[in-house]
């Protein structure tokens, strides 16, 4: 195989008249992924796995796009790819190599000039990788995306360490793999032996084709095991919260878990910590878990006078149970008095302590309404909060 240097992405290429088809291999059973349907049709990040890459190939101008599917799976495949123009289906074989050959035979009727052969289990397909492959096909009959190997490698001698392997000489191979159509079809037709080639580049190389290497992308990760589908949740979630409590004489004033000496305090069923209540609602909202009133109803006497740090700790646990961690929280307290500045750092420390996060993840700030409205008349205090959660 040959190493090539891709052209800059802003180098225009005129491919007028060159027809590039795509063949998406989606004929496996996907049993290791632990999904109720073959993994290529399971939902991942809001849509079926196979749909992600097919949309990317369609956006790149590939036509036709032939999806090779298991026997009897046409209904689920059509549902998964509904609305994408130019998609066709055919049934695959017992092995991947056989499925590709069968697919190429079907595509032969369309007489494409080039073909991208892609595994459906690699859903995220950057347009830049497709472009690098097509550039390589201007000089070579075949090209594949690869990545360097980071770990040390060795050959195995049974249960013992064998000869070392030079990672500098090795690459991780991805798909799509790109070829001039006539040549890769001939390579598959001429294959003599068991249909156990690891990929189409091996078939092409055995036929005598030089296959160029282009830079791949880590996002082309292959979904294989059940744990891979944990990433079907959004990587980031955002929530907002807002709360208001009335100021009254004779009440204690708690803000962000800190008691503040003041002429008035906030009135409510619990300790009426308006800032924590807004933060709790933001966290619950980010994971779609309702609001503070659903979890701690004011009609329940057990929460009368309760410290709001219990509510915040509960919200933090629910966030963790969903597989997320607090990335940052931004709390704004809206009042004419008291002055929040002298207490800001104590508030940040208390919130960080309750949630078990670094204080750098917590922002507390204050503003007034220029003496307008109920906060301007010092009848109450309002608070709003915004949080972002990251998948762990």
* Positions at the binding site: 243-245, 269-270, 277, 291-293, 367-370, 374, 377
Task: Enumerate the H helices of 239-382 as residue ranges.
Answer: 274-286, 292-295, 309-321, 344-355, 373-376
Cis bond upstream, residue 176 (ω within 30)? yes
Enumerate the known binding-site residues for a divalent metal cation.
Answer: 243, 245, 277
Task: Enumerate the H helices of the chain as residue ranges.
Answer: 49-59, 74-80, 96-107, 127-136, 181-190, 200-207, 274-286, 292-295, 309-321, 344-355, 373-376
Tell me the residue length of the chain.
392
**Rounded distance between C-alpha atoms, residue 21 and residue 62, angstroms:** 5
Q: What is the residue whose two structure tokens read 């101008």?
A: 61
The DSSP secondary-structure symbol of 361 reads G
Q: How far apart are the first and last CA of the chain?
A: 39
CB 112 within 8 A of CB 178: no
CB 77 within 8 A of CB 48: no
**Rounded distance between C-alpha atoms, residue 304 and residue 272, angstroms:** 10
**Rounded distance between C-alpha atoms, residue 310 and residue 108, angstroms:** 66
């Amino acid at each position: 195989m040959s190493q090539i240097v891709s052209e800059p992405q802003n180098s225009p290429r005129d491919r007028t008249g060159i027809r590039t088809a795509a063949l998406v291999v989606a004929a496996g059973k996907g049993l290791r992924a632990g999904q109720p349907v073959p993994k290529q049709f399971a939902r991942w990040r809001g849509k079926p796995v196979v749909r992600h890459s097919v949309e990317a190939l369609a956006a790149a101008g590939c036509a036709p796009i032939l999806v090779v599917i298991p026997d009897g799976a046409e209904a689920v495949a059509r549902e998964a790819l509904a609305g994408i123009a130019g998609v066709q289906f055919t049934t695959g074989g017992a092995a991947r190599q056989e499925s590709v050959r069968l697919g190429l035979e079907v595509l032969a009727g369309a007489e494409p000039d080039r073909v991208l052969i892609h595994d459906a289990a690699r859903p995220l397909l950057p347009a830049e990788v497709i472009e690098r492959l097509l550039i390589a096909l201007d000089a070579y009959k075949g090209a594949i995306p690869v990545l360097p190997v980071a770990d040390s490698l060795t050959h195995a001698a049974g249960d013992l360490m064998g000869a070392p392997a030079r990672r500098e000489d090795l690459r991780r191979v991805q798909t799509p793999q790109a070829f001039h159509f006539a040549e890769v079809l001939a390579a598959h037709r001429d294959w003599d032996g068991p249909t156990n080639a690891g990929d189409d580049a091996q078939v092409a190389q055995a036929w005598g084709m030089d296959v160029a290497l282009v830079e791949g992308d880590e996002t082309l990760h292959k979904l294989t095991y059940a744990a891979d589908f944990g990433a079907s949740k959004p990587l980031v979630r955002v929530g907002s919260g807002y709360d208001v409590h009335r100021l009254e004489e004779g009440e204690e004033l708690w803000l962000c878990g800190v008691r503040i000496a003041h002429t008035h305090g906030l009135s409510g069923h619990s300790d009426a910590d308006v800032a924590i209540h807004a933060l709790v609602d933001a966290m619950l909202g980010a994971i779609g878990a309702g609001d503070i009133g659903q979890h701690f109803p004011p009609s329940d006497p057990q929460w009368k006078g309760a410290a709001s740090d219990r509510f915040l700790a509960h919200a933090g646990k629910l966030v963790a149970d969903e597989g997320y961690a607090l990335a940052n929280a931004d709390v704004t307290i809206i009042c004419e008095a008291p002055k929040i500045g002298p207490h800001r750092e104590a508030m940040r420390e208390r919130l960080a302590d309750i949630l078990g996060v670094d204080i750098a993840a917590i922002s507390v700030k204050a503003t007034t309404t220029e003496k307008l409205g109920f906060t301007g008349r010092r009848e109450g205090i309002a608070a709003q909060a915004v949080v972002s959660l990251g998948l762990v």
